[in-house]
Structures are given as C-alpha cells and as structure tokens.
Structure 1
Amino acid sequence: MSRIGPEWFKSSYSGTEGDNCIEVAVTPRAVHVRDTKDREGGQLSVTPTAWADFVAFAKAVEL
C-alpha cells in the first residue's frame, strides 16, 4: 500500500507539555508546518532553503 501525502512528524522543538506543538512534513520541494492540535486548520509551506534558514535562526536565538 502506498502512502498518500507527506509523512508528518512532531517537531523536536515542540513543547513537552502538549502545548505549542507543531508537526513538520518534508517533501522535495517544500517543508510543511501545521499545528498538532488543529491538523485540519491549514498549514504553512516554505522552501527547504527557507526552512533551513529559519531553523538556523531559531538555534541562534534559543534561550
């Protein structure tokens, strides 16, 4: 059986208490991000380059 659509996983940067959780799915042309608590509420899609830049920025400003 083939899988339809991207494979989503919970971000390692999500909160540990079940709040502020996001899921990420990576495809060759885009990285998709959605709210774990509202999976049908829409998603943000960015290029892999933009996602890599965001992750690098987030690591740099991590408190």
Structure 2
Amino acid sequence: MTTEHAETTTALYAIDVTGLTRYKSPLSTNNDSCVELKDLPGGGRVVYDSKDLSRPSLRFGAAAWDALEDAIRDGLI
C-alpha cells in the first residue's frame, strides 16, 4: 500500500457517517445476498452487510466505487 493510498483510506474512515441515510444497494439480489450503502461526500460509499450490521463497514472512494461497480456489471467479480 502506498503512503498516498493509506492516507486516503484513513481519510475515508475518519468521516462521521452517523447522520447519513443507509439504503439497500440497487445491485443487491432478493435472496439475502444484499448490502446496504451510505453515500459519502465526493461520490464514495460505505458498504454494510445487511444480514449482520454489527460487522465492520467497508469504505470506498469515488474512483474505487466506480471500478467495483464496473467489475460487477462486467461479470468480473
């Protein structure tokens, strides 16, 4: 991990998300394989496992989120 990447990741996790609205991902399926999201300022996302909200969240900056969505749509993951 580069220093720049580590600083960006630290900044994402420093954002207070308690006041942001959580919603079900439009990419989720109806078979209990779903995640919930919160939109971060600048286009990033916070991702939660909707089956176990006590688990740690994942945070993505805007570019990383866009790349993840593209990979899912393209069937790469």
SS in 2 for 1:28: coil
| Structure 2 unmatched runs, 5+ | 1-17
The one of 16, 21, 25 aligned to 2:38: 25
Task: Tell me, in whole angstroms, the C-alpha distance in 2 between the residues paired with 1:13 and 1:27.
Answer: 18
Between Structure 1 and Structure 2, which shows a larger proportion of strand residues?
Answer: 1
TM-score, normalised relative to structure 1: 0.77
Question: How far is the alpha carbon of 1:34 from its aligned partner?
Answer: 0.6
Residues 1-63 of structure 1 aligned to structure 2 (within 5 Å): 4-17=18-31, 19-29=32-42, 30-61=44-75
| Structure 1 unmatched runs, 5+ | none
Counterpart of 1:5 in structure 2: which amino acid?
G
Q: Give the stretch that moved more between structures: 43-52 or 24-33.
A: 24-33
Task: Tell me, in whole angstroms, the C-alpha distance in 1 between the residues paired with 2:22 and 2:63.
Answer: 19
RMSD: 1.6
Between Structure 1 and Structure 2, which shows a larger proportion of helix residues?
Answer: 2
* Structure 1 residue ranges (4+ consecutive) displaced by more than 6 angstroms after TM superposition: none
Q: Percent sequence identity over matched residues?
A: 26
